[in-house]
Amino acid sequence: MLKQQSILIAGGGSTFTPGIVMMLLDNLDKFPIRQIKFYDNDEDRQNKIADACRILLKERAPEIAFSATTKPEEAFTDIDFVMAHIRVGKYAMREKDEKIPLKYGVIGQETCGPGGIAYGMRSIGGVLELVDYMEKYSPDAWMLNYSNPAAIVAEATRKLRPNSKIINICDMPVGIEHRMAEVLGLSSRKDMTVRYYGLNHFGWWTDIRDKDGNDLMPKIKEHVAKHGYVTPAELSSAESDIEASWKHTYEKAKDVFALDPETLPNTYLKYYFYAQDEVAIADPNYTRANEVMDHREKLVFSECQRVVDAGTARDVKLEADDHASYIVDLARAIAYNTKERMLLIVENQGALVNFDETAMVEIPCLVGSNGPEPLVQGNIPRFQKGLMEQQVAVEKLVVEAWEKGSYQTLWQALTLSKIVPNARVAKQILDDLIEANKDFWPELK
């Protein structure tokens, strides 16, 4: 009999929470649960999601105890896993992260460039607070964190909470691997074994094989060279399920791949290699945050309201996010020592032999009850090394700036970002960001 788990979802009011709950319900045979709690610092927002999830859980798994709270002690007591997806400053601040740089002709993006730096300066404190609550009230628990910007958050927890049981993870490689599996006609991405290295939202696949050891890279490369990561199904149907902005990202992977045809790239590299192209197609008055607020946020909250009004979740239209099952894979690996191979964001410590030992890198790991065991990926080529040295320095400078409250250090971080053209523009953006973030950032001197 598998031990039943007690789960805390931190960021209970997130648009992803209902999908995670549905996904947990779909996996109860593999990952049995006795309790689910929600925690958020916005009671109204969380209640809208929690009221619908309470109905859903009562109908589909009445044996699971459910509660939602904004009180840390109540939330973090008696927990095995904290699944954390908070967004400090919510979409209102994401919108500013995206629009302020665009005023200066610079990419405005959730996790890359100045937007990601601004978001990092807000997230560090929020995530450290969650870690501290967990250690105080459930010291044996693990935190599976996917709050962004994961690269900066991971560096902050490495440096400032070195002994904490937090594992940072991203769903972008999982999502791209789903697409690769479709290109190959495989039923699951788990039929592939991959080698990959990089930083979060900044990495490359170097080897992809089937279970018999056959090389799958040539067939994927042939497709990516023509169509990026747009799937065969998406190519053949006029009506696509994916949003236009994501479709563009998958198409653009073709141009990203062209830079290094030896490897297959993460989609986020487009912001670093083709910064001007991305600025040219951006609408400075309507960015991704606006799209998300108009679509995903409205849809999730109105569907939750409908469930509450109807008093039943029988015909609920919110679907289990099947990408999110990597979170259960990770939790299971720790809970039941499965030794699953997964890409995680961990301290390098020699896994990339010729790269900074203290960098937080995204690489394959075997995961068991004592956490991730990173797999050596060897030496990395000069092109990737050069890019990664610059980017990891940005991430480390942001954490230093947060820690010291240093204007100078944050200005250096922005200037070093490949996306920012020069120090003058970096300063203009920084001054606007400071003004916009005064309720969230430490005071900079």
Positions at the binding site for substrate? 94, 148, 288
**DSSP result, 253-313:** HHHHHHH-TTSEE-GGGHHHHSHHHHHHH-BTTB-HHHHHIIIIIHHHHHHHHHHHHHT--
Segment interacting with ligand NAD (CB under 6 A) among 11-19, 26-34, 272-280, 360-368? 11-19
CA distance 175 to 341: 16
Q: Which is nearer to ligand NAD, 61 or 293 (CB)?
A: 293
Minimal distance, residue 368 CB to ligand NAD, in Å: 22
The site that binds ligand NAD (CB under 6 A) totals a number of residues, namely 24
Q: What's the half-sphere exposure (Cβ side, CA atoms, 13 Å) at 284?
A: 10
Verify binding: residue 96, ligand NAD, rule CB under 6 A: no
Q: Quick one: 50 or 172, whose CB is closer to ligand G6P?
A: 172
| Distance in Å, CB of 148 to Mn ion, minimum | 6
Contact segment (CB under 6 A) with ligand G6P among 37-45, 165-173, 232-240, 365-373 equals 165-173
Pick the closer one to ligand NAD by CB: 126 or 198: 126
- 110 makes contact with ligand G6P (CB under 6 A): yes
CB 273 within 8 A of CB 255: yes
11 binds ligand NAD (CB under 6 A): yes
Residue 198 binds ligand NAD, judged by CB under 6 A = no
| CA dist 220 → 125, 192, 204 (Å) | 40, 12, 13
- What minimum distance in Å lies between the beta carbon of 73 and ligand G6P? 29
Site for ligand NAD (CB under 6 A): which residue of 34, 60, 91, 195? 91
Residue 288 near which of ligand G6P, Mn ion, ligand NAD, none (CB within 5-8 Å, type-dependent):
ligand G6P
> Helices 150-160 and 113-137 sit at what angle, rounded to 10 degrees?
50
Using the minimum distance from each CB to ligand G6P, give the nearer residue, 110 or 347: 110
With CB under 5 to 8 Å by kind, the binding choice for 14 among ligand G6P, Mn ion, ligand NAD, none is ligand NAD
148 binds ligand G6P (CB under 6 A): yes
Helical (H) or strand (E) element with 202: strand 202-209
Would residue 268 show up in a list of annotated catalytic residues for this protein? yes
Q: Is 269 in the site for Mn ion (CB under 5 A)?
A: no
Q: Does 171 bind ligand NAD (CB under 6 A)?
A: yes
The amino acid that residue 378 corresponds to is G
Residues of each annotated binding site for Mn(2+)? 170, 201
Is 322 part of the annotated catalytic residue set? no
Cβ contact 38:46 at 8 Å: yes
- Residue 161's Cβ-count burial label (10 Å; 0-12, 13-18, 19+) is middle
Nearest in space to 360 (alpha carbons), one of 171, 161, 85, 151: 151
Taking the complex as a whole, how short is the minimal distance between the CB of residue 211 and ligand G6P, in angstroms? 26
| Residue ranges in 16-85 assigned as alpha helix (H) | 17-26, 43-60, 72-76
Side-chain half-sphere of 139: how many Cα atoms within 13 Å? Answer: 2
User: Does residue 88 bind ligand G6P (CB under 6 A)?
Assistant: no
The count of C-alpha atoms lying within 13 angstroms of the C-alpha of 220, restricted to the half-sphere facing its C-beta, is 30
DSSP string, 381-419: -HHHHHHHHHHHHHHHHHHHHHHHT-HHHHHHHHHHSTT
User: Which of 26, 51, 132, 171 does the annotation list as catalytic?
Assistant: 171
Binding mask 325-344 for ligand G6P (x = CB under 6 A): --------------------
Q: State which of residues 5, 14, 267, 409 lies at the interface with ligand NAD (CB under 6 A).
A: 14
* Stretch near ligand NAD under the rule CB under 6 A, chosen from 143-151, 206-214, 246-254, 307-315: 143-151
State the minimum distance, in angstroms, from the CB of residue 170 to ligand G6P. 5
Q: Is the bond into 149 cis (omega within 30 degrees of 0)? A: yes
Q: Looking at 268, 271, 272, 326, which residue is catalytic?
A: 268
Q: Kindly state the number of chain residues that form the binding site for ligand G6P, as judged by CB under 6 A.
A: 8
Considering only residues 113 through 172, tell me which ones interact with Mn ion, judged by CB under 5 A: 170, 172
Backbone phi, psi, residue 169, to 5°: -145, 150
Q: How far is 139 from 353, CA to CA, in rounded Å? A: 33
| The two three-digit tokens of residue 197, written as one number | 């290295």
Q: Cβ of residue 383: shortest distance to ligand G6P, in angstroms?
A: 23
Q: How many Cβ atoms are within 10 Å of 410's Cβ, its own excluded?
A: 25
Run of H or E residues at 66: strand 65-69
| Distance from C-alpha of 195 to C-alpha of 377, rounded to nearest angstrom | 7
Residues of this chain that bind ligand G6P (CB under 6 A) = 110-111, 148, 170-172, 288, 292
Which residues belong to the active site? 171, 268
- What is the binding site for Mn ion (CB under 5 A)? 170, 172
Binding site for ligand NAD (CB under 6 A): 10-11, 13-16, 40-42, 45, 85-88, 90-91, 126, 146-148, 150, 170-172
